A and B are shown apart, each in its own frame.
Chain A
Amino acid sequence: MKFTKKTKISSEIPTASMPDIIFMLLIFFMVTTVLKEHSGLPVNLPKAKRIEKLKSKRHTVQLWVSKDGMISIDDRLLSVDEVSMVMYDKRVADPQIVVSLKGDEEAEMGLISDIHENLRKVEALKLNYSTKTLVD
Chain B
Amino acid sequence: MANKRRFKGGEIPTSSMADIAFLLLIFFLVTTTIDTDKGLGIVLPPPGDMEIEIRKENILNCLINSQGKVLLDEEPTAIEQIHRIVGQKLRANDKLIVSVKSHPKTAYNDYVRVIDQLKMADAKRISIANSN
Contact = CB atoms under 8 A, between A and B. Distances in A.
Interface of A: 15, 18-19, 22-23, 25-26, 29-30, 32-33, 36, 46, 48-54, 57, 60, 62, 65, 100-101, 103-110, 112-114, 116-117, 119-131, 133-134
Q: Give the 5 A-B residue pairs with the shortest CB-CB distance, closest first.
A: A110-B104, A105-B109, A50-B119, A48-B116, A22-B21
B9 interface: no
15 contacts: A19-B18, A22-B22, A26-B25, A36-B35, A50-B116, A51-B40, A54-B37, A105-B107, A109-B105, A113-B104, A116-B128, A117-B130, A121-B47, A128-B39, A131-B40
Contacts of A100: 37, 39
A26 B24 contact: yes
Interface residue tally of chain B, by bracket? 35 or more
A30 B28 contact: yes
B81 interface: no
A98 to B, nearest CB: 8
Q: Interface on chain B toward A: helix, strand, loop, or mixed SS? A: mixed
Interface string B97-132: 000001111111101110110011000000010111
Given A36-B35, A54-B37, A110-B104, A123 B47 contact: yes
Contacts of B120: 49-50
B37 A33 contact: no
A67 to B, nearest CB: 9
Interface of B: 14, 17-18, 21-22, 24-25, 28-29, 31-33, 35-47, 64, 102-109, 111-113, 115-116, 119-120, 128, 130-132
A22 B18 contact: yes
A19 B14 contact: yes
